Amino acid sequence: MNFQNRVPCGSLRPVDAGRMVQAAGWVDALRDHGEVIFAHLRDRSGIVQVVFDWNRAPRLRETARGLKEEFCVAVAGTVVERMPGTENPSLETGDVEIIATDLTVLNPAKTLPFLISEKGMTAGVELAGPGAVAEDLRLQYRYLDLRRPSMQDHFIKRHRIVKRVRDFLDERGFLEIETPVLTKSTPEGARDYLVPSRVHPGHFYALPQSPQLFKQLLMISGFERYFQIVRCFRDEDLRPNRQPEFTQIDLEASFIDEEFIYELMEELTVRMFAVGGIELPRPFPRMTYREAMDTTGSDRPDLRFGLRFVEATDIFRNTNYAIFQKIIQAGGCVKGINVKGQSDVLSKNVLQNEYAKQIVPSLGGKGMTWMRVAGGNLESNIVQFFSEAERQEILRRFEAEEGDVLMLIADPSYAVVTSVLGKLRLHVAERLGLIPSNTYCPLWVTEFPLFEPTEDWVTSCHHPFTAPDRVDFDPRNRDELLSLRSRAYDLVMNGEELGGGSIRIHDKKVQHKVFEALGLTPEDIAGKFGFFVQALEYGAPPHGGIALGLDRVTAMILGTASIRDVIAFPKNRSAYCPLTQAPAPVTRQQLAELGLLNLGGETVLPGMEKEGDIIDTLSWVSRIGVVESERSAIHAAVRQAERLAEKIQAIPGDGEPLFAVIDITQPPRPGTEARISPFVQSGELLKNAPALKGDYFKVANILE
């Protein structure tokens, strides 16, 4: 076959009828009708049906009958229109097929670990693909998983999103400039991935968490507008939408303010989402950090639904309800949400026994107060403690109407109230189906605090290069530092942070004040940021920037369940690659070349002194104390385990582990009827359980 004459499978249409074509790809599906075999041939462009008819091409019989799914093949034949009634509307090529005159198996395929085909061979049949397959198995055979048309469509659209970003920023005068991947470790909020240097033994590069300092140096260099589609690395605890390595759309510009960033990024975001057929409303609304926390309990609010917090502390300032009275006197607050028209769903039993006693405590709250509107009055088990004036003000303030349900959280800590009520807001919205589908609500969150408190002092909320809202502050005054606002901004959509940035510090004196506020000594500054601080002395311009998480944005545009579906070769939830089995051990020779065999010198690691005795070692590793009287029994058990291990090693063969090395017997309990243990009835069995539910040991929910 001359591959230069190859046509894309998905390009054929009725106008091609009668044309001789050559196509190549993978066998997506097969259907054997005896004298005729139908096959779906798939390449990146789509799928076309190929017909192997013995009456027309008898020499293809044996080769065609040997085909299996995912064989890589080349075919030649004539394009014909399908017979009326045999069309397949689920295929773009469903009105035509290729009558094969030649077939070459380019490469056979082993039996597949999971189903790849997503298109049925008959009209109206859609196959599920590997949706029910364990994700680690999909990642182990990622090259097969990526053959699926739906997965390839993700990456085609990701490519188009990136191209649109590049084209737009080029229009606006931005230059794409690459920054180093091997750099110096600097504190940016997460742990660095370190790379040892062979040339400089005992010294390390760090993989960049972001190109922060380099893009600021490019502004000092006079490029004025920079961008980069950049790989970043963070050694942090993983969540469903995090990866140890990820991609950012990173940009920086000089002689600008926040309004420049808002206008630029709104236009860019609108164009990116248009690739997925999503039209975003403009202009994007803005909300300060304080308002976001005060009304939604989150710095990334989901505005697709209501349930905004209502401040109720002042209503109960002189209340007779003892719980509220005590909390307010302690400086606490009371906030609530109005769940409109859900009284029938949120019954008294659900509110009291599920939410107040179980759900809210699991969210970190001590309890919940609830009220329902019935017959124009408030109804709950605590309403009798409220005065008539308080009841009327509750109805007015919450705009409560017939059938509404009010949920209130009260606590001496403002942070607890907003956090718990924020989680409750999301829980209720998801449970009651209040979040509309295919709706997108972009939002700018602004005026973040510059610093946040720690037990000892303060730390940066963003990074130490973010400009404060004013420069006349005392770096030794903790209260003043905590009152500062930053010139930072986050782009948020549907409860997800898509990206964030800030106007940067360009004045050396202000930068030194921020470093001083963070407790850095002149030696610390010189050692960690000396090159950067020196650059600020050479006419650094005002500048600012932002970075968007490309993986996260793409996942939202395409509606995938995880960012792993838009990353070609992602790690799993344990930062492990089932495909390449990385991270993996390396040889001692490699470690020796890098000077890592005795990097700590004679330093003794914590607990190493316990290695002299096997029982002490087991005690230290398991964190279980061993008393002297138990040692002989544990020694006997360890010796027995060692003997069993020796027996296994002595078994001839391929070394496959056995299920057991001794006979397994399970003697039945006496009697034939099930009965509850008397220790359960007496409470003895579960007396040490942290929580009970009926006669069962209650365990914590397992959350991803």
Report DSSP state, residue 690. Answer: S
Q: Say how many C-beta atoms besides its own lie within 10 A of residue 370's C-beta.
A: 22
* pLDDT 10s digits, 367-381: 899 999 998 899 998
Of all helices (H) and strands (E), which one includes residue 185?
Answer: none
Question: What ranges do the domains of the chain cover?
Answer: 3-107, 135-276+544-597, 286-290+442-543, 305-431
Q: How confident is the model at residue 673, as a pLDDT?
A: 74
d(CA 246, CA 414): 35
Give the max Cα distance, the chain.
95
Name residue 98's amino acid: I
Q: How confident is the model at residue 609, as a pLDDT?
A: 53
Name residue 579's amino acid: L
Identify the segments of the chain with pLDDT beneath 50.
610, 703-704
Report DSSP state, residue 570. Answer: -
d(CA 393, CA 399): 9
Q: Say how many C-beta atoms besides its own lie within 10 A of residue 177's C-beta.
A: 15
Residue 254 · residue 576 · CB < 8 Å = no
Residue 687 · residue 680 · CB < 8 Å = no
Omega within 30 of 0 (cis) for the link into 678: no
Residue 452 · residue 481 · CB < 8 Å = no
Query: Hey, is 60 helix, strand or coil?
Result: helix
Q: How confident is the model at residue 604, as a pLDDT?
A: 52
d(CA 41, CA 49): 6
User: Which residues have C-beta within 8 Å of that of residue 683, sequence separation ≥ 6?
Assistant: none
Residue length, the chain?
Answer: 704
Q: How confident is the model at residue 190, as a pLDDT?
A: 75
Question: Locate tokens 């507008």: which residue?
Answer: 225
Q: How confident is the model at residue 690, as a pLDDT?
A: 67
* Orientation angle between helical segments 149-171 and 550-558, nearest 10 degrees: 120
C-alpha distances in angstroms, 141 versus 127, 424, 643?
Answer: 19, 40, 39
- Where are the extended beta strands (E) located within 64-111? 72-81, 96-107
Q: What would the 3-class secondary structure string for 617-679 be?
A: HHHHHHCCCCCHHHHHHHHHHHHHHHHHHHHHHHCCCCCCCCCCCCCCCCCCCCCCCCCCCHH
d(CA 268, CA 229): 14
Do 286-290+442-543 and 305-431 show the same overall fold? no
CATH class of 3-107: mainly beta
* pLDDT 10s digits, 141-174: 999 999 999 999 999 999 999 999 999 999 999 9
Query: Hey, is 27 helix, strand or coil?
Result: strand
CATH class of 286-290+442-543: alpha beta
Half-sphere exposure of 159 (CA within 13 A, CB side): 7
Question: Locate tokens 């087991």: which residue?
Answer: 618
Least Cα distance to 428 among 324, 309, 286 occurs for 309
d(CA 655, CA 666): 27
Query: Hey, is 530 helix, strand or coil?
Result: helix
d(CA 35, CA 79): 20
Residue 334 · residue 393 · CB < 8 Å = no
Of all helices (H) and strands (E), which one includes residue 587?
Answer: none
Residue 118 · residue 133 · CB < 8 Å = no
CATH topology classification for 305-431: Gyrase A; domain 2 (3.30.1360)
Query: Considering just the CA atoms, what is the radius of gyration of the chain in Å?
Result: 33
Least Cα distance to 443 among 704, 222, 639, 265 occurs for 265
CATH superfamily, with its number, for domain 135-276+544-597: Bira Bifunctional Protein; Domain 2 (3.30.930.10)
> Residue 204 has which token pair?
């390390």
Global pTM reads 0.80
> Residue 541 has which token pair?
């311009």
Query: Hey, is 297 helix, strand or coil?
Result: coil
Cα–chain center distance at 656: 37
226: left (phi over 0), alpha (psi -120 to 50) or beta: beta
Q: How confident is the model at residue 661, as a pLDDT?
A: 56
Question: Locate tokens 């400089």: which residue?
Answer: 200
